[in-house]
Chain A
Amino acid sequence: GAVVSQHPSRVICKSGTSVKIECRSLDFQATTMFWYRQFPKKSLMLMATSNEGSKATYEQGVEKDKFLINHASLTLSTLTVTSAHPEDSSFYICSARDLGGLQYFGPGTRLTVT
């Protein structure tokens, strides 16, 4: 089956620094990738849709200047959390959509901002 990886799986950073999370589709090409955020005991909330070669589309309430998304190739999308603050601590999950339209999810990245 289709596999999506995320790196790193866990990251701890200091407040004010930036963190980059990578999402890769390992065995298929994904023109569209998605970034979700999951709070403890909460559902997944879509943050943005990332289309290869174009600007990401952000959901209402998501700061595009804070959460920078780059989808430079058909197998890689990155999410950079800039000037991170403790309230940005969360579990970030990406997904990649195959040509059939099905989303495959990565294992997630646990971000802790101290």
Chain B
Amino acid sequence: AQSVTQPDIHITVSEGASLELRCNYSYGATPYLFWYVQSPGQGLQLLLKYFSGDTLVQGIKGFEAEFKRSQSSFNLRKPSVHWSDAAEYFCAVDLDYGGSQGNLIFGKGTKLSVKP
């Protein structure tokens, strides 16, 4: 079955430090890949997405992600974390982008805490 794995449940980094959140997917073909951020009690905001082409994609708020087909990974990075980045981050895969059904599969999320 298709799945999305975020191996880190909770990560704490110091403000100003770099960040990498891991995401692996299990799917036969190359899916459409997304990273979303959720602040407490809020909905999801799209950070970035990968459909095809350049495997390094830039998103909002200084985030970027790199698609590595050989590793079935789509890790999220930020060179310098700000206190406002503290939130829950979800990696997601869409198996049928634009199709008639909802096929957005989410990982379990990684909670990011930022130390001053």
Listed in ascending order, the chain A residues whose CB lies under 8 Å from chain B are 4, 6, 32, 34, 42-44, 46, 48-49, 51, 57, 91, 93, 95, 97, 100-108, 110
Secondary structure of the B contact surface, majority rule: loop
Closest 5 pairs between A and B when the two form their complex, measured CB to CB = A101-B98, A105-B44, A105-B43, A107-B43, A49-B102
Q: Is A101's CB under 8 angstroms from B97's CB?
A: yes
CB distance from A51 to the nearest CB of B (A): 7
- CB of B35 within 8 Å of the partner chain: no
B108 within 8 A of A: yes
The chain B residues found within 8 Å of chain A, CB to CB, are 36, 41-46, 49, 90, 97-98, 100-102, 104, 106-109
B109 partner residues in chain A, CB cutoff 8 A: 42-43
Tell me whether B46 and A44 are in contact (CB under 8 A): no
In-complex Cβ contact of B104 among A4, A42, A46, A100 (8 A): A46
Assembly CA distance A105 to B36 (angstroms): 10
Contacts of A107 in B (CB 8 A): 42-43
The reply to whether A108 and B108 form a contact with Cβ atoms under 8 Å apart is no
Q: How far is the CA of A44 from the CA of B44 in the complex (A)?
A: 10
- Chain B positions within 8 Å of A108 at CB level: 41-43
**How many whole Å from A52's CB to the nearest CB in chain B?**
12
A107–B45 CA distance with the chains assembled, in angstroms: 9
B101 touches A57 (CB 8 A): yes
Q: Are B104 and A34 in contact (CB under 8 A)?
A: yes
Decide: A42 and B102 in contact? CB cutoff 8 A: no
The answer for the CA separation of A32 and B98 in the assembled complex, in Å, is 9
